Structure 1
Amino acid sequence: MTVTEQLSRLDHILAHGGINTLFQPIVSLSERRVLGYEALSRGPSNSSLHSPVTLFAAARHGGRLNDLEMVCRRSACRQFSHSALQGKLFLNITPESLLDPSHKPGRTLELVSDAGLDPADVVIELTEQTPTEDFALLDNALHHYRAMGFSIALDDLGAGYSSLRLWSELRPDYVKIDRYFIDGIHQDAIKREFVDSILKIARASRAEVIAEGIELPQELQVLTEMGVDLVQGYLIGRPQERPPADLSGFFTRSEQAQTLADEGGDLGALLLVQPAVNADRPIGEVLETFRLQASLNSIAVLDAEERPVGIIHRHLLSEALLKPYATDLLARKPISRLMSEDYLAVEISHSLQQVSRLLTSRARQRIEEDFIVTENGRYRGLGRVIDVLKLITEMKIQQARHANPLTLLPGNVPIRQCLARVLEQGRQAAVCYVDIDHFKPFNELNGSICENNEQLGELIATIVTTIEENFELTPKCAGPERLDQRTHSDNR
């Protein structure tokens, strides 16, 4: 589509609507509650302006940025109020739109009031896409918002052109750390130092820090240990038109996140609570569900007992309806006509390793397709293939990082973690410590002990069995392997 066509399409959107608003939750870990929701705007799903990047770039190019942002704010306020969402509404606003001469003061307050919202529950979130020139004028504009009762947030700290100066000049109530510094923070010391510095500055300036872009339990665990309380990201909740009001399941999973990562436990941490449809649901209604929820990749199809019988993937549905007159001919037909019966359904109690093996054994499994998660055969939600693979990879890296370099068996760090969990839980446990004398010359003479792990494992198992029989204990460990099967060598 040419620039002229994009601008024409933009004019149509601004005149007749077509903006879709999604909401992503921001939660407080310490208070176990939803602080609020960030409103994210999307263009029409069947348009080249669906992507927010393309949509706002076109508006900026055509000098309609202020007009587009007002339409987005109106849509966000109305939908937030209509959905009766709890907490604060975070509205994205660019500094350049606030400084636009055509910007009318008081218009945002009018939109908020018309939607029945209290300005005290609305946060103006500054998203910097271009350099900010006039800090004094921007400061005056934000003082105007504060005087009306709004709070101020600074988005993407560390990614903007002058975000640190904006923080110093504007003194926002909330600071959101750019997801670049969150991605893989559990394995990047420099990113941890950056976040730690931000936390220190935030305490001094009395700003609250929000970590956004969290996708892995390990990232959440590290941030929690560092003292970050407000979090946002796919791990907590994806942007949705109608986000779930109850996130108690996430808070329960977040408390178990480290244990799950260590154990390779059940799939609770990866579960996506998504709507499902009955097999007789009309295709037209399912198509409309996909249209309204741009982030939805798949929908499970269930029978009368809520057991999965198929799955609908967005790309397959789109392909089926590309044929001439297909939409008109199939709109009232049951979705069972187009659903795929070649799907993977796994129990939520399955381990990540089990699911990973099932996924990799499926020749036709595509990485962008979801799989179905069940509990006792009944539908619970969906899981993403990419999430499983990423978590498995992180677990392998974590295990390798703390492995003994000679034996490749778990080293001191996981052993200490395992012992700490056993002590915290107050469980009975038997610990077997094996110290191999003269290990270094033995290893040099006979090759790596990794080649003899089977014999070594059999020896330890025999010792453990003897301990269990004599002391009538059933030692178990919350780590990736049983504590009583671990060995440690100091190379003496």
Structure 2
Amino acid sequence: MTIAEQLSALSAILAQRSIHSLFQPIVCLRERRVHGHEALSRGPSNSPLHSPLTLFAIARQAGRLTELEAVCRESACRGFSAQHLEGKLFLNISPESLLEPHYPSGRTLKLLEQMGIAPSRVVIELTEQTPTDDIQLLSNALHHYRDMGFSIALDDLGAGYSSLRLWSELRPEYVKIDRHFIDGIHHDPLKREFVGSILQIARAANTQVIAEGIELPEELAVLTDMGINLVQGHLLGRPQALGVRADQRLLAQVLPAALMQQPTVRLNATLGQIMELFGRHEELTTLQIQAPDGTHCGVIHRDALSVLAFECPPPMAGNAQACAG
């Protein structure tokens, strides 16, 4: 498809406002509830611009990104309100749109009033695809939104052009760790170190951390053990037109199954028992430790077994309580 044809398709989408929104749940692990939903925009299913990557790339190239994002916000707010979705609505907005000098002030607030959505339920999720040249100007713009009751999230922490500086300067209420650092975290000690460092900074900054892109139970188990509370990913719910009943099914079935799918070992298990269980399940990289009351109280990594065997003196060698705590 030529550039001219793509630009023509974009014009038709904007003129007809033919954007549809999918919603992916963000789950609070401690409270076993849906904390919110991220709205994800798609072009018409029969359009070459159905993919969001292509759609937004063409809009940016055509200088119509702000116009497209306004249509996406309208679609997201209407869908969120019509389906009575739980929690907060996370709206993706690029810094360049926020800084657009000709963008009508108050349009988003007016839209929310029409939909019956309080600004306190909306999180502006900054997506950084290009370098942010004027952070102070961006900070001023976000201060305006905070004054109206909105919260701020920084998307893809660790992948953007200046994400750590943006975190320091903007002090968002949420940061979302880039999925690169979540993928395979159960067998990558360096990724665990990175996420651990982010959690330390988040505690100091009073910021809530969201781990996104979770696809495996092993990833969820490690993140839970590290203290991550807010999670998002295909394991917990794919982007779709979720309703309240679907959310309840998620909490009642998908989340407990994801947390409990792994084999577990008792708190007083010996090193021999742990090694035997790893031997029978060669695909496992972690094992959950189960307390006497049945709750999950820790995790043992396969790559740490040699360290455990070396460091734990007899006769306590391998005791999960002594070595894995």
Q: In which range does the TM-score fall when normalised by the shorter chain?
A: 0.7 to 0.9
Q: Post-superposition shift, 1:256?
A: 5.1
> SS at the partner of 1:240?
coil
2:27–2:230 CA contact under 8 A, matched in 1: yes
Separation in 1, partners of 2:161, 2:255: 34
Q: 1:409 to 1:111 in 2, by over 3 A?
A: closer
Distance change (3 Å), C-alpha of 1:258 and 1:18 = closer
For each residue in 1:49-107, what CA deviation from the matched residue of structure 2 results, as whole angstroms up to 9, or x when unmatched? 00000000010000000000000001111111111112111000000111122222211
Structure 1: how far apart are the matches of 2:113 and 2:150?
A: 12
Correspondence for 1:213? 213
Per the TM alignment, residue 258 of structure 1 is displaced from its structure 2 partner at its CA by 5.3
Instruction: State the shift of 1:140 in Å.
Output: 0.5
Describe the SS at the equivalent of 1:57.
helix
Q: Give the 5 Å matches for 1:141-220.
A: 141-220=141-220
**Which position in structure 1 is the counterpart of 2:9?**
9
Give, in whole Å, the separation in 2 of the partners of 1:139 and 1:159: 20
Report SS of the residue matched to 1:24.
strand
Query: CA, structure 1 residues 208+108, in 2 after alignment: closer, same or farther (shift >3 Å)?
Result: same
Structure 2 CA distance for aligned equivalents of residues 112 and 119 of structure 1: 7
Separation in 1, partners of 2:105, 2:198: 32
Amino acid in the other structure paired with 2:248 = L
SS at match of 1:7: helix
- Contact 2:237–2:250, Cα closer than 8 Å, also in 1: no
Q: What are the within-5 Å matches in structure 2 for residues 452-463 of structure 1?
A: none
Larger Rg: 1
What is the aligned partner in structure 1 of residue 40 from structure 2?
40
1:68 corresponding residue in structure 2: 68
Return 5+ residue gaps in structure 2 as ranges: 265-273, 295-325
Q: CA deviation at 1:251?
A: 5.4
Q: What is the match of residue 247 of structure 1?
A: 248
Q: Is the 8 A contact 2:25 2:36 kept in 1?
A: yes
Contact 1:73/1:91 (<8 A) preserved: yes
After superposition, give the CA deviation of every residue in 1:249-306 in whole Å (9 maximum; x if it has no partner).
545554454542228xxxxxxxxxxxxxxxxxxxxxxxxxxxxxxxxxxxxxxxxxxx
TM-aligned CA deviation for residue 242 of structure 1: 3.3
Deviates more, 1:184-193 or 1:241-250: 241-250
- Counterparts of 2:19 and 2:254 in 1: how far apart (Å)? 34
Three-state SS of the structure 2 residue aligned to 1:145 is helix
* Structure 2 residue matching 1:242: 3-state secondary structure: coil
Amino acid at match of 1:145: Y
Q: Which amino acid aligns with 2:239?
A: P
Residues 75/409 of structure 1: CA separation in 2 closer, same or farther (3 Å cut) = closer
- CA pair 422-179 structure 1, distance change in 2 beyond 3 A: closer
1:167 and 1:410, CA in 2 relative to 1: closer, same or farther beyond 3 A?
A: same
Counterparts in 2 of 1:62 and 1:211: CA distance versus 1, 3 Å = same
Partner of 1:490: none
**Contact persistence 1:23–1:243 (CA under 8 A):** no
* 1:185 maps to amino acid: I
CA deviation profile, 1:199-228 (whole Å, cap 9, x unmatched): 111111111000111111111111010000
Residue by residue, what CA displacement relative to the aligned partner does 1:301-338 show, whole Å, maximum 9, x if unpaired?
A: xxxxxxxxxxxxxxxxxxxxxxxxxxxxxxxxxxxxxx
Q: Tell me the TM-score normalized by structure 1.
A: 0.54
1:54 aligns with 2:29: no
Q: Is the 8 A contact 1:217 1:254 kept in 2?
A: no
1-side partners of 2:39 and 2:166: how far apart?
Answer: 22
RCO (CA 8 Å, sep 6+): is it higher in 1 or 2?
2
Alignment of 1:80-479 (within 5 A): 80-245=80-245, 246-247=247-248, 249-250=250-251, 253-255=254-256, 257=258, 259-262=260-263, 403=275, 409=279, 421=290, 423-424=292-293
Equivalent position SS for 1:6? helix
- Name the CA shift for 1:187/1:136 in 2 (closer, same or farther; >3 Å): same
AA aligned to 2:236 is I
1:252 and 1:79 mapped to 2: Cα distance? 24
Alignment deviations for residues 114-133 of structure 1 (CA, whole Å, 9 cap, x no partner): 21111011110000000000
CA 1:100–1:254 in structure 2 vs 1: closer, same or farther (change >3 Å)? same
Deviations 1:435-466 (A, max 9, x none): xxxxxxxxxxxxxxxxxxxxxxxxxxxxxxxx
Q: Distance in 1 between matches of 2:251 and 2:242?
A: 17
Output the CA distance in 2 between the equivalents of 1:256 and 1:55.
36
RMSD (CA atoms): 2.3
Distance 1:87 1:133, change over 3 A: same
Alpha-carbon deviation of 1:247?
Answer: 3.4
Letter in 2 for 1:64: R
Secondary structure of the structure 2 residue equivalent to 1:261: coil
Aligned partners of 2:191 and 2:106: how far apart in 1?
A: 40
TM-score by length of 2: 0.81
SS at match of 2:44: coil
Moved more, 248-257 or 29-38: 248-257
Question: SS where residue 50 of structure 1 aligns?
Answer: coil
The alpha carbon displacement at 1:243 in A equals 4.2
> Counterpart of 1:108 in 2: which secondary structure?
helix
The letter for the 1-side match of 2:127 is T
| Secondary structure of 1:247's aligned partner | helix
Q: 1:95 to 1:421 in 2, by over 3 A?
A: closer
Q: Which residue identity does 1:77 align to in structure 2?
A: C
